Chains A and B, each alone.
Chain A
Amino acid sequence: MRLYPFDLVEPDTLAAALDALARLDGETRLVAGGTALVPMIRLGLVKPDRVISLHRLPELAEVRRDGGTLQLGAMARLADIYTASTVREGWPLLAEAARRVATPAIRVSGTIGGNLCYAEAASDPAPALLCLEAEVRVAGAAGGRTVPVVDFFRGFYETALAPGEIVTAIRVPATPAGARSGYVKFTSRSAEDRPLVGVAALVVRDSSGRWDDVRIGLGGVAPTPIRAPRAEAVLRGEAPGDATLRAAAEAAAREAEPLSDLMGSADYRREMIRVWVRRLLTSLRDGARSA
């Protein structure tokens, strides 16, 4: 079955891509790796008149350290992110989450910018980027702007992008010194599925063992990927025992707004948040994982 026909535009500069996006009438979509857009076209969810491909913009594919910051081009492939030693060493939480997206062939094509722009609630990288307090660089006809990832997701498959804007890069600040972090993903059907519940967490202990920096990101449990500020508040300043970890997991389950779908009901998702938040936090406390 062929795709609904569209004209493909292949600009070779960002300026030309922005110009095409602003100038062309009718429905226009951007494509990076195609792993999200192509199935949406095939299913008839979108019927673009034209598709602007960003694959001729090599400057958007970079994965590099810029001082203490990780600079990821929007077109950086997920596989190129977690195989980069820079990322594995400096941002192990992101490497771990990117490594868990779907299957090898999807990770070879799928990009980090595409993953964020698709705004799938059950994204694997998004909870990690929320914990790392990453920023999205956006280009538009009127110039560039920076949007914190936490503000980038606006609703169900909805982002903060305005018409005519293109995500060019993701900037990830340095992982805090001494942080322990991890990503766990629970799938209800098969290992390569989207997460029913995905949990990323990063904690930093002070010299007395208290958690003075606690960040928890959740995927699949609300209309968008979210931080879990109430769960974080339960833990901040604590040297958590099992009861405190359970209380934090309970807070996360309560602040989530899960939906029911083919993977599982809202109630089941809440229960799995309790289980997986507690398990991840316990392993971080006990030192089973480290940054």
Chain B
Amino acid sequence: MKLELTLNGRPCVTEAPGHWTVLDLLRDGLNLMGTKYGCGEGVCGTCTVLADGRPIRACLVLAAHVRGRALVTVEGLERDGRLDPLQTSFAERGAAQCGFCTPGMLLAAKALLAQNPAPTVDDVREALAGNLCRCTGYTKIVDAVLAAAPGAR
């Protein structure tokens, strides 16, 4: 099956079997290992990527369903060698420990801030409700997202 899409801002033409998910396409087809395989059932959130700016679970969405759409993975957050403000904020505030949930956290947060540049603590917690972290207890993750919000006072 032929697939044409936009991946991290660039046109991408590739092939994938019909039963592949977006996660299979990213990791096995395109060798982009930033997006993690966690639970495989859409519960843990570590495979979260953006499709047309909205968060999706790469482990649940068939690759065929992102044909023609714009995907952003954690590899696409950096611009010209500069980290996204969310990445800097996570690093500065110790919002990652083992790091396995971090790609999904960053993209779920990215989608939130694009839609709501000045979120409340509750907004952040709700946006990240489907992203599980077994290390941090979430406090530093929420703090890092709030600090990176462009509308933060």
Contacts and interface: CB of A to CB of B under 8 A. Distances in A.
Interface residues of A, number: 31
B93 interface: no
Contact of A105 (B19, B21, B55): B55
Contacts of A192: 129-130
Interface residues of B, number: 30
Contacts of B126: 104
A6 B40 CA distance: 17
A108 B55 contact: yes
Nearest to A105: B55
Contact of A38 (B37, B62, B64, B130): B62
A5 B65 CA distance: 17
Interface in A221-242: none
Q: Tell me whether chain A's interface is mostly helix, strand or loop, or mixed.
A: loop
Given A6-B19, A105-B55, A39 B60 contact: yes
B65 A104 contact: no
B103 interface: no
B150 interface: no
Interface string A1-32: 11111111010000000000000000000010
Contacts of B9: none
Nearest to B132: A190
A103 B42 CA distance: 9
A5 B130 contact: no
B127 A8 contact: no
Contact of B59 (A10, A38, A104): A38
Interface in A53-84: 53, 55, 79
A53 B62 contact: yes
Given A4-B19, A39-B40, A42-B40, A109 B130 contact: no
Given A105-B108, A108-B55, 18 more contacts: A2-B19, A3-B21, A4-B19, A5-B17, A8-B18, A10-B64, A33-B61, A34-B60, A38-B62, A42-B40, A43-B41, A53-B62, A53-B65, A104-B130, A105-B130, A106-B130, A108-B54, A109-B61
Interface of B: 1, 17-21, 24, 37, 40-42, 45, 48, 51, 54-57, 59-62, 64-65, 108, 111, 126-127, 129-130
18 contacts: A3-B24, A7-B18, A8-B18, A8-B19, A10-B64, A31-B62, A33-B60, A33-B61, A34-B61, A34-B65, A35-B60, A38-B59, A43-B41, A104-B127, A106-B130, A108-B54, A109-B57, A190-B129
